[in-house]
Amino acid sequence: MFGKLMRTLGVGGATIDTVLETDEVVVGGTLRGEVRVKGGASDQDIRGVTIEIVTRCLVETRSDNRVHAEIILASGTIELGRVTAGEELAAPLEIDIDPAAPISIGTTTSFVRTRVNVPGAVDPTDKDPVRLLPTPAMLAVISGLEQAGFALTETEVEHNPRRANPFVQEFDFRPRGFNDFGIDEVEISFQPIRGGVEVLLTVDNRGGFFTMGRERSARFQIRDADRSDIVAQLRAAISSLR
């Protein structure tokens, strides 16, 4: 069990304990737990408890700048009201995680933030880390690129709330050996589909003395249930884009 304890402002105030079943969840899954409340020495009004799933990541802005920022992926609120002295309450908690939510890898991290709305007081907050895990298909692609001789160097997130898919996480890989001389970088991103992911793979080829560098891209699908020969498939895709 994974728990966090936060006391509201004021001596003898109520305590709020958010207990999660686990501190790991696969993107597209549901984070489950419960919020436990224990009244303090006197009655207290608590308007609600808000649980937020927040990711801290490198974000690409519209002006092509990159900054570290926090993105709220999902949230849920539990209404409470008056909590009498010594009263004990428990409310179930379920928060769905977007299938396109950024996974916890590299500099991209996530945490659960609990906020308590107490009338007349600054909202007390607390946060604890949670890991957002890749789906089997996503993990197969990332591991496959590493097995194919590429090292993950950076991740960043494009965030546009107005899009149907508001999160696009990009993974940058660089070649580790001389077999891929001429390739500056390989970039991948994922689009969730039923039973797997669609992969956008981009190869950034270096320029030479008489040639300009260029980027070429391809799309293909990987299913959770069929991840055989992924290294060979990635190798073939990269070779075709050189």
pTM for this one? Answer: 0.84
Residues of the chain falling short of pLDDT 70: 1-12, 61-65, 119-125, 180, 207-213
pLDDT of the residue at 235: 92
CATH code given to domain 2-133: 2.60.40.640
- Could you give the CA distance from residue 227 to residue 163 in angstroms, rounded to a whole number? 29
Look up residue 96 and give its two tokens: 């769905």
pLDDT tens, residue by residue, 36-66: 888 888 888 888 888 999 999 888 766 666 7
pLDDT tens, residue by residue, 147-177: 999 999 999 988 777 777 788 999 999 998 7
Look up residue 201 and give its two tokens: 């793979």
Nearest to 197 by CA among 217, 161, 168: 168
Domain ranges within the chain, ordered by starting residue? 2-133, 136-240
- Could you give the CA distance from residue 112 to residue 17 in angstroms, rounded to a whole number? 13
Are 213 and 203 contacting, i.e. CB atoms less than 8 angstroms apart? no
Backbone φ and ψ of 102, nearest 5°: -65, 135
